[in-house]
Amino acid sequence: MAAAAFARELGRPLYRVVLDRVSGKSIGETEKNLQKLFDAAERGQAVLLFDEADALFGKRSDVRDSHDRYANFEANYLLDRLGNFAGIAILTSNGKHPFDRTFLRRLGGVIDFDRSKTRRDQ
């Protein structure tokens, strides 16, 4: 809701990134889908919302096999593309600990919504 309100306040469309729609089964397919998404967001001056972003922006692992290597390749692509993105991207998660520190350093700000402080006891 906060992302929608933010985009509306800016007068920009909100593109919600759905992981199963951008994730590909073949090597390089995810990166191609993400490239199209980032390019469209830049052209349309849209705000990108990566809901449950820890699935895409999670911690990189030690390379033990080709799957680890490919997963790290995707993470590196995202680091580069996010760093060069000329728009606004919002990443949501249930916590910031699942994110790779390199991603966190590239973020312009982190807002922690503490639900215990927003509820009123009645």
Using a 10 angstrom Cβ sphere, with 0-12 exposed, 13-18 middle and 19 or more buried, the burial of residue 47 is: buried
Q: What is the pLDDT of residue 122?
A: 45
In which residue are the tokens 């993470």 written? 75
Q: Kindly report the average pLDDT of the chain as a whole number.
A: 78
Q: Provide the pLDDT confidence category of residue 7 given band limits of 50, 70 and 90.
A: very high
Q: In the chain, what percentage of residues exceed pLDDT 70?
A: 73
User: What is the arithmetic mean of pLDDT over 102-110?
Assistant: 75
Q: What is the pLDDT of residue 29?
A: 85
For 41-100, how does the pLDDT look when each residue is reduced to its tens digit (9 = 90+)? Answer: 999 999 999 888 777 766 545 545 545 445 566 777 888 888 888 899 998 877 656 676
Provide CB contacts within 8 A for 80, sequence distance 6+. Answer: none
Please say whether the structural domain 2-111 has been given the CATH code 3.40.50.300.
yes
* Total number of residues shown for the chain: 122
Q: What is the pLDDT of residue 39?
A: 95
What ranges do the domains of the chain cover? 2-111
User: What is the arithmetic mean of pLDDT over 107-111?
Assistant: 77
Phi, psi of 108 (to 5 degrees): -75, -20
Confidence check: pLDDT of 12 > 90: yes
DSSP characters for 11-61? T--EEEEPHHHH--SSTTHHHHHHHHHHHHHHHHTPEEEETTGGGTSBPP-
Give the predicted TM-score (pTM) of the model: 0.74
